[in-house]
Amino acid sequence: MNRSFKLAIAAMAAFSLVAVSCNKPETPTPEPEPEPKPEAPELVNKEMVAAPFGETLNYDLVAEDDWFTEEWTMEPEDDYDWITAEPMSGKGDTELTFIAEPNESGKMRSATFYVKVGDFDAVEIFISQTKLESNVNESDLEFLKAIVEGKMIGDDTPVVEDWYNVDPGQFRGINMEDKDGKYYVVALDGVPLIDFPEKMDLPELQFINMRGQNLNGKRLPKEWNTPKLWKVNLSVCGLVGPIPEGFGATPLLAEVYMDQNNLFGALPHNWTTTCLEVFIIANVNNKGAGTELPFGSQDNSGLGYLIPKGLDVIMNQDRKVQNDKTQIKVGGATECTFIGFEKGWGQTRYEKYDPDAVKGDTSVWSDFRLLCGSSAEGFDPELDQWAWYFSNLGYPGMAETIPHKMLDWDQTAADAYTAKCEADYKASLN
């Protein structure tokens, strides 16, 4: 290769380097770094309790870490109609005010508010409020309200303006006692009721004496929750209808007087009391074998079907309440429609005093099942004259009105009897 050719090649290479160097792009200017986004504040939780009668609550919103130097807003979690808050926006330290109304809703309630800075929740405020409670026990209060709202004491029905601070002295004949800071109804003694509430849910009620009150055509409440009730006198009140099963389930009944009314239907099958000493639903005295039917009483003539085995009185020597003789009167008038006794009625007396008794035999009739005092030879002196003068089941002629038969209880038959009585009663009103 000659020298001239070499020089040419070198010249071309140099030119290429210069060209490449001239066409190289310029380095771009770097964009500025974005400012860091603010971190969310640590959420502050605040809990407050408002009094059930209503209360104004305050909360100091204090600037922390410069968050509340900025503008903030407050938002409720829901639409609340019982609590208001102010202010709903601001800047910097602020006192927040929450006004809660009295809680008459019958249940506990709550509200939640959020203080927001920008898009962040900075403070969560939770406010709870318990329900208003009366100074009267809840179920007893419902009983009193029913009486007032139904004007069941006639002209004596009081006007109660504040059910949360009830004056027990307002209710004539309704005796209340303070137990552990709450008033309970303990007695209905002479209260001039003209009707009954639907429920007798009175856990401390012990005594009812409304003899002679004007309850003509009214019925006993169907629901009875009266575990301490031991004495009931509702004689001569004009009551109608069946005796409710709920009443029969009252466990401590010792004395019951319901004679001279217009009660009808089958007696409750579920008599649970084991301490019954007096049960009178027909005011008929037996003065001996010479007494003739009818006894002069027509009261509660619609009661019938069977005498339930649970409806029995304890032995005279076991009584603890009644100061007179133990007694039971469940019929005697010629028109009563009992067809006999449920198997097992009078079982204790039968097994204790009948020399021919077969223990556990509930079906055999025996006069020793009756409360017949000295009419049965060999009767225990402790029983002598017990029922002879104070009951009517021991009268020899009672077999003519309540047959001496031991029968199985048939609830369908009992309900049918009650239904017929109900139909006959309604027909009599037309």
pLDDT, tens only, 132-185: 999 999 999 999 999 999 999 988 899 999 999 999 999 999 999 999 899 999
How does pLDDT run across 262-286, given as a tens digit for each residue?
899 999 999 999 999 899 988 654 4
pLDDT band for 320, please (50, 70, 90 cuts).
confident
Distances (CA, A) of 111 to 76, 79, 230, 332: 8, 9, 47, 67
| 46 has pLDDT over 90 | yes
H or E, element range at 124: strand 120-129
Q: E strands within 33-87?
A: 44-50, 55-61, 71-76, 83-86
pLDDT band for 258, please (50, 70, 90 cuts).
very high
Whole-angstrom Cα distance, residue 273 to residue 76?
A: 57
Whole-angstrom Cα distance, residue 108 to residue 52?
A: 9
Predicted pLDDT of residue 166: 94
Predicted pLDDT of residue 266: 95
Whole-angstrom Cα distance, residue 73 to residue 88?
A: 6
pLDDT band for 209, please (50, 70, 90 cuts).
very high
- For residue 421, the 8-state DSSP code is H
| 90 has pLDDT over 80 | yes
Predicted pLDDT of residue 397: 58
In this predicted structure, which of 54-58, 82-86, 131-135 has the lowest mean pLDDT? 131-135
- Amino acid letter, 40: A
How does pLDDT run across 213-257, given as a tens digit for each residue?
989 999 999 999 999 999 999 998 989 999 999 999 999 999 999
Q: Which residues of 324-354 are buried (b: 16+ CB within 10 A; e: fewer)?
A: ebbbbbbbbbeebbbebbbbbbbbebbbebb
Predicted pLDDT of residue 91: 84
Average pLDDT over residues 60-87: 83
DSSP 192-225: --SS--SEEE-TT--EEE-TT---TT-B--SEEE
The dihedral over CA atoms of 225, 228, 231, 237, expressed in degrees to the nearest 10, equals -20
| 17 has pLDDT over 50 | no
What CATH number labels 44-129? Answer: 2.60.40.10
By percentage, how much of the chain surpasses pLDDT 70? Answer: 75
What counts of helices (H) and strands (E) characterise the chain?
5, 22
Which residue do the tokens 């029995």 mark? 312
- Amino acid letter, 19: A
Phi-psi region of 3 (alpha: psi -120 to 50; beta: other; left: phi over 0): alpha
pLDDT band for 287, please (50, 70, 90 cuts).
very low
Which residue do the tokens 């020793």 mark? 368
Which residues are bridge partners to 413 per DSSP? none
pLDDT band for 76, please (50, 70, 90 cuts).
very high
Please give the backbone phi and psi of residue 154, each rounded to the nearest 5 degrees, phi first.
Answer: 60, -135
In this predicted structure, which of 31-45, 91-105, 328-342, 392-406 has the lowest mean pLDDT? 31-45
Whole-angstrom Cα distance, residue 346 to residue 356?
A: 15
Angle at 194 between CA 191 and CA 200, to 5 degrees: 70
In this predicted structure, which of 44-48, 110-114, 119-123, 187-191 has the lowest mean pLDDT? 119-123
Question: What does pTM read for this prediction?
Answer: 0.75
Whole-angstrom Cα distance, residue 209 to residue 234?
A: 6
| 8 has pLDDT over 50 | no
- Amino acid letter, 309: K
H or E, element range at 351: helix 347-353
Determine how β-strand 55-61 pairs with β-strand 94-100.
antiparallel
| 192 has pLDDT over 80 | yes
Helices (H), 150-189: none
Average pLDDT over residues 361-386: 65
What average pLDDT is seen over the chain?
Answer: 82
| 30 has pLDDT over 70 | no
If we measure between CA atoms, which residue out of 310, 335, 194 comes closest to residue 253?
Answer: 310
| 335 has pLDDT over 60 | no
**Chain-centroid distance, C-alpha 397:** 46
Which residue do the tokens 């009625």 mark? 345
Which residue do the tokens 């102010």 mark? 86
Whole-angstrom Cα distance, residue 96 to residue 74?
A: 10
DSSP 402-413: S-S-EE---HHH
